[in-house]
Amino acid sequence: MRRAQGAYALGIVFQDQPQTLYAARHGSPLIVGVGQGENFIASDVPAILDQVRRVIYLNDGEVVALRAGGVSIFRLDGTPVPPVVQEVTLAAEAAEKAGFETFMLKEIHEQPRILRHLLLQHPWRESTVAMPDLGLGAPYFRKLNRVMIVSCGTAFHAGMYGKLLWEHVTSLAVETDLASEFRYRDPKIDPGTLVVAVSQSGETADTLASLRMAKSWGCKVLSICIGVASTKAYTAQLMALALLAIHLGRARGELSEAQALEYLRDLQAVPDALHYVLDRKEAIRQLADKHHDGPSSLYLGRRFNYPTALEGALKNKEISYQHAEGYAAGEMKHGPIALINEYLPVICLCTRTRDEVYAKMISNMKEVEARHGRIIAVATDGDAGIAALTGDVIWVPPLRDEFTPLANVVALQLLAHYSAQARGTDIDKPRNLAKSVTVE
């Protein structure tokens, strides 16, 4: 193992030691399940949830020897490592479908509960959002002037939302970058930059490598890591980023207590807004049945909902295998407009807002209409102007502009799910994908 290069998670059996299973990890996830008279190795807890309730999370460079009666851990140089056994908090029913057609649909429906839990975890305390485990105090945030958010895939779209919201609430300069690109360019980062990693699994190789680079430059590192399926992981990351935005605004003195309380009150409305969308899943299923057969689809959004368009297209690609592209709606005229014809579904995120973005989206939709594209609108309930443009509308409840992505993306998750169902794909086992992306 000391000579091996790259990432690995290995289980090894020697012919002359049939009662011992050795395992080693470096860069790839590996856990030990501790049972009664039996022990297991697995890549993640759900794989062995029906067998054990206690686990050991191995660190890079560690080797474990498993026997029926116990386990011993040591480093590659032979140094013993005391095992840290943890109780599994994930309920067994969390690994079951709980009566839903698919695991994905179950995860989508769990989002209101997850968001309520996040709000309860971080209550309003001492004139700010309580974040006792953050490890970075107000004096640090007041001196901070630059943030870099690094992430991959769905988490990158969450990071894009975080950039927009943090810049909206504070005077911070915030950048986002794909971790797979960040680590190979020459970013002008100094120790005064806060590097924020957003991840679902916490095992994404490129994101971890980017963090190691940032630490080597003396940067402070903050992580948002939510290890669940990417539907509810995404909305939980958005909620976490919104709570952090309020916390940062208060810490830097750029958000008054009254403004922060207004933001928090509006955040409290989000879980019920998600229920509103979930209650309309049959209407969304009908739209998916009507439009699933095209070879491609186009998702358009602006400002806070530009990342939502990217995430909606990604979900569609992942599980229905229909080609889909997300675009900033203002970029439609710079190329994608050539694709629009009577066969192309164009999903337009056009919830009512208090600024000029709404009017611009209406203009974009009229351009699609003029070219006979199939418009599917995600719009605020009761919007007569949208209803006049298209009969294919997914209605969502009114929310504060900044928080509309949390409800809008649930509508797009359901649309992707039912499109995949109509196309006959295996929704819970999309081809070529893995929960933890450990290859670079």
User: What CATH number does the domain located at 103-268 have?
Assistant: 3.40.50.10490
Contact in structure between 340 and 298 (CB atoms under 8 Å): yes
pLDDT of residue 17: 94
Which alpha helices (DSSP H) does 122-204 contain, by range?
A: 138-143, 153-169, 179-182
Query: How does pLDDT run across 390-406, given as a tens digit for each residue?
Result: 999 999 999 999 999 99
CA–CA distance, 232 with 426 (Å, rounded to integer): 19
Percent of the residues in the chain that have a pLDDT greater than 70, as a whole number? 95
User: What is the C-alpha R_g of the chain?
Assistant: 23
**How confident is residue 265, by pLDDT bands cut at 50, 70 and 90?**
very high
pTM (2 decimals)? 0.84
Q: Does domain 279-423 have CATH number 3.30.56.10?
A: no
Query: How does pLDDT run across 170-204, given as a tens digit for each residue?
Result: 999 999 999 989 988 888 888 999 999 998 877 77
Mean pLDDT, residues 198-222: 85
pLDDT of residue 430: 84
pLDDT of residue 193: 93
What is the DSSP code string of 37-94? S-EEEESSGGGGTTT-SEEEEPPTTEEEEEETTEEEEEETTS-EE----EE--S-GGG
Burial of 133 (0-12, 13-18, 19+ CB in 10 A): exposed
75-81: Cβ within 8 A, 24+ apart? 76/1, 76/2, 76/24
pLDDT of residue 390: 93
358-362: Cβ within 8 A, 24+ apart? 360/302, 360/329, 360/330, 361/300, 361/301, 361/302, 361/329, 362/386, 362/389
Domain with CATH 3.40.50.10490 in the chain: 103-268, 279-423
Query: How does pLDDT run across 13-66, given as a tens digit for each residue?
Result: 999 999 999 999 987 788 999 999 999 999 888 788 888 889 998 888 899 999
Q: Is the pLDDT of residue 270 over 90?
A: yes
Query: How does pLDDT run across 119-153, given as a tens digit for each residue?
Result: 999 999 888 899 988 888 999 999 998 999 999 99
Q: Is the pLDDT of residue 228 over 50?
A: no
